[in-house]
Amino acid sequence: MKRFSQRKGLKPVKTKMQLNDMDAELRNGLWNTLTVCYWQKVGDPWISHHPEIRVLFTRLWHGYFKWPIDTLDDYWEHTYKKVREYFFQCQWFEVYDFLEFVVATSMTNQKTASSWRPVTLCWRVSCQHIDSLATRSCR
């Protein structure tokens, strides 16, 4: 939806398709989605008190980052800070790798799959849409 200033022509409408880069606005929006759908599920400072989050972060450490699992800090703030720093410093395509890994990993746990199904569906539809646009623009 265009904002008032965009409808009145006072501010340009963003029309650039980001196929080979990612601006701060998009990266922030993707991080906000992770925050709302995943990170806010942590209600106290210990990851071990949240089995779904503990499994997700253990899989991130082992399968995505390839870091030793014994370096996974149980204190949420430390772990969150490390992942956030990675997210905002990595290459644009690594953001998508990270998001795909998080969604795929969360879906392997049937208990959490139902609570995250809307997010996963939205993400998959977005990926399919982006893939189809990228394919069309590369022809």
3-state secondary structure of 110: helix
Q: With beta carbons less than 8 A apart as the criterion, state whether 33 and 87 touch.
A: no
Predicted local confidence at residue 4, as pLDDT: 86
Domain range summary for the chain, segments of one domain joined by +: 22-138
Residue 69 is predicted with a pLDDT of 96
The rounded mean pLDDT for the chain is 81
Query: Is the pLDDT confidence value at 135 over 70?
Result: no
Q: What is the pLDDT of residues 71-114, one digit of tens each?
A: 999 999 999 999 999 999 999 999 999 999 999 988 765 554 45
Confidence of residue 115 (pLDDT cuts 50, 70, 90): low
Kindly report the pTM of this predicted structure: 0.72
Torsion-angle region of 9 (φ positive above 0: left; ψ -120 to 50: alpha; else: beta): left
| Residue bearing tokens 């893939």 | 131
Q: In 3D, which of 34, 21, 26 has the Cα closest to residue 92?
A: 21
Written as six digits, the tokens of 23 are 């601006």
What Rg do the C-alpha atoms of the chain give, in angstroms?
17
- The percentage of residues in the chain with a pLDDT greater than 70, rounded to a whole number, is 73
